[in-house]
Amino acid sequence: MKLIIRLIINAAALAAAAWLLPGISYGRDVVNLLLVAALFGVLNAVIRPILAFVTCPLQVLTLSLFTLLLNAGMLLILSGLSGWLGLDFAVDGWQTALIGGIIVSLVSLVLSLFVREDKRR
């Protein structure tokens, strides 16, 4: 259940970024959006920790502001990989990816606040 909720949160965050920024598009197909969100979740689970570890000194030096560039890079990687896999998702450039990364992070954070985990188990 937790995986499905994370998938929906990722999909909503990506859709919000595409809705707010003309430089991000996903083709307006819900199935395509869910597949892109699943790919985004896999990238965040596999590649992001490696990149965060490698860029740890930059994170410390910039007081974690480098995370914004890391988020932008993740969106650009997602755009390239989804195009390679035949999914319809595109980001137009670094500036769009930077703003999109901020939007995705904020929307994901807000939606995650509404999902409460039951710790009684």
Residue-wise pLDDT for 79-120, tens only, equals: 999 999 999 999 999 999 999 999 999 999 999 998 876 666
On whether residue 119 sits in a domain, the answer given is no
Question: Given a cut of 80, is residue 23 above it in pLDDT?
Answer: yes
On whether residue 120 sits in a domain, the answer given is no
On whether residue 121 sits in a domain, the answer given is no
**For the chain, what is the domain count?**
1
On whether residue 80 sits in a domain, the answer given is yes
- Tell me what percent of the residues of the chain surpass a pLDDT of 70: 96
Give the global pTM: 0.90
On whether residue 89 sits in a domain, the answer given is yes
Structural domain boundaries enclosing 16: 2-114
On whether residue 68 sits in a domain, the answer given is yes
- Interatomic CA distance for residues 17 and 99, integer angstroms: 8
DSSP state of 90: E
Q: Which of 54, 28, 26 is nearest to 40 (CA)?
A: 26
pLDDT band at 64; cut points 50, 70, 90: confident
On whether residue 30 sits in a domain, the answer given is yes
